Structure 1
């Protein structure tokens, strides 16, 4: 699937922090962007100010007419319930509807990517990396899991998007979404027992993060916190560095 085959993007759950960053990205690329969310929020208000059409009632009649074409990319969040009218209507019409993580994976597939994973510290770390790159004038775009105070946005960019653009993305372990990413550089801040309603136990969390490290492109780099013992310090074709306050190669 090639994203340049589409000129319209429709989001189910557009007000989510990850979904809204994607919506902003496609809007900046000149695509027609619209979507549904359950309730208005300050974030959805900002999206509307940026020219994105949003409605807050699950009603197929409110889907913009220009959306129902084969040039539209449909994106949904797993938080959408199975009985959602718009979701089932679009699915019944035969449209392909992708998860947010799948779309982020498609974006990162064609760009050098820095992916930040960890049960804690993803947003802080990815925001720091983003700020450094932006201040340095590097051509980049960052999809963040929070609205930063200094930039007042969860989508931060520098320069005009092209093949040289570096992508910074939060690699979310929730429902194993980060396994859709294939980064050149991966950062892992922590591998604590979290989302056990999905994973069941800590060992499954560790296994998922280990699987994520195997997604790093050959010749790439893994940077992990010094406290993470469960992930090996040596990998075939991938350089491994550690960071921390007391040990590691980065301080």
Structure 2
């Protein structure tokens, strides 16, 4: 027997190969488990973009709705602008029409004012001539009076009816455009007087001054139409009643009057009877 036979060995006993394999297998399993957990976490993390991607359709639908609403609003705005433009155009046209009507009314008023001023100036001039006692005017008045006296004294039938109607209107008002029975303008009175004896005359003085045969103011007869101004453009008319007198609707201030020829000598005369 060896002297060392009973000395206990201090070496660790060798592990069986099977135990070593199990240990290694366990370690490997742990690693794999760790990797599996890590992979699962990674997979969970990587699923979030997928969830974000799933929300995109809802976002796109909202955007489409917003775009559609914006398009409708834009279209409505365009319609509003169009309606507003049409309204403004109509207002502009109405203003233009009103301005035109006003200008036309002012033009007519101005023409009437000038005609009135001319008549009044003629009357004033005639009145001054009468006051001065012009010899020429007296001679004309005397000649007319002599011629008119015989005409007036022998006035019968239609002439008498004409004169009687005219004298019945003396004192009534002068109103521009009126033809009776309570008021007249100059041509309205002449037309109304002649209508009493069945003679139709034009309405205005310009036409009445050419309605018959032109006669001299020194050879007048009862019923002759006297006019002031040029034949065809006369601005005033009256009727000769004989005795060197006439009856006419003079102006708004005097109305219908009977006056001597010397008051306002006429430019000419026409005979329609």
Which category of TM-score, normalised to the shorter sequence, fits these structures?
under 0.3
Give the helix-richer structure, 1 or 2.
Answer: 2
Task: Tell me the TM-score normalised to structure 2 length.
Answer: 0.18
Task: Tell me the TM-score normalised to structure 1 length.
Answer: 0.19
CA radius of gyration, larger in: 2
Which fold has the larger relative contact order, with Cα–Cα distance below 8 Å and residues 6 or more apart in sequence? 2
